[in-house]
Structure 1
Amino acid sequence: MLIASDGIDLNFSEEILKLFNDSDNTHLTIRNGILTGGANGSTTGSTITISNSYLLNATKLSVARTMIHETVHAVINAYFYGYSDFEDKPFQDKLRQYASDKGFTDMNTFHHNFMGQYINAVAYSLYEWDKGYGTAGSLGWDYYKSMAYSGMFQVDISGTIVAEVDTFKEIVPNADDRQTIADIILNEQNGNSEAQGTKCD
């Protein structure tokens, strides 16, 4: 939990939303639309687009996780590029140095690897959301943490992982454990009978 400058207790995702809310110059825009390549969501600058087809199938828990994930993309963009009201030169330098040290030239690869540092924060934010709007927070820490790894792998049509970012393999070194995580995320994404979250109305 983070303590905002005005003394309000905020979790990670709430703090990100507050950053955009308090900005006079950079606004977070959230919309739905058609996305190619099977993506659940996409963020360009500070504009988030959630896939129409994903919204038709996913559980509420999955949609909440996607929203949290995409806001992390938006805030990384804001700091990496030094948007007005997000000018933090030391943090921008650290982001750029991380990308350089790891040899990341693709922003998507950089983002998903860097997000490994926020797994627990994303999981806690999702737990807090689920406590208020989903299963009353009954799914257990490992389930929320598994959901936080979204975006760190790609699967084939059978759901088997075929590509992974380096950070995912570093944090979860066992391949079977990574596949179990992928299965949890896919169950929620597809809203199938194995999903623990509730379907959207």
Structure 2
Amino acid sequence: MLLVLMLVGPMLLLWLVMSRTPWTRWIIAAGLAGQAAIAGMLVHFFPRGFLEISLSVLVLALATCVTGRLVERRRLGPAGQARVGVATHLLAGWSLVALLIGATLWRPAPFFPATDKVLPLPDGLRATVRSSGDANCGSGSCTRTITVTGRPGQGDDDLYEEVKRHVKKRGWSSGCRPTGWLLDQTAECVELAVVDNRVTIYLSGHRDDSSHVATIG
């Protein structure tokens, strides 16, 4: 929601400066505020579509401001105030900056899924998380390991089954799941293995959701 406000907020302020009549000023302002509110709700309920929703609201907000300017120009003729021209250029400049920022944030790069995707563990189990600096990170893919120690006397098979049930309850019905939607083809995966009487959780992120397949057996 904060990023949506950062995208639309400056456009709303610039529109209030550049608008020439009260009725278009507040109609367009209400439209921009409504777009920001709807986008914020969509991001909340559909987080995987964050990139697409942010880009859509930016384009829609810009189109709304341009429509307001065209309506005013048709009714009132070309604007003569210097502040209107400055605000118009600032609006265009902010739109370009927002697109460039989005392109920078969207650049392909390795990423780590947050450990809270599998933590905390059930009571009695102890997790040791390897730091990001010690993780295995290659081109487009990064993997962190979480070592799970069972309760005193708990067998390997029982510990493995308990951890497997836990990660499935946390939404991992299969080994991998997408984190993006249409434009963002990233995926996060989890794999389990028994190593030295402990269960190791391999939590990985992949920029191409078709580049890795994992299952929780």
**Do these two structures clear the TM 0.5 threshold for a shared fold by scoring above it?**
no
Q: TM class, shorter-chain normalised?
A: under 0.3
Q: Which has the higher contact order (CA 8 A, sep 6+)?
A: 1
| Higher gyration radius (CA) | 2
TM-score (norm: length of structure 2): 0.24
Which protein has the bigger strand share? 2
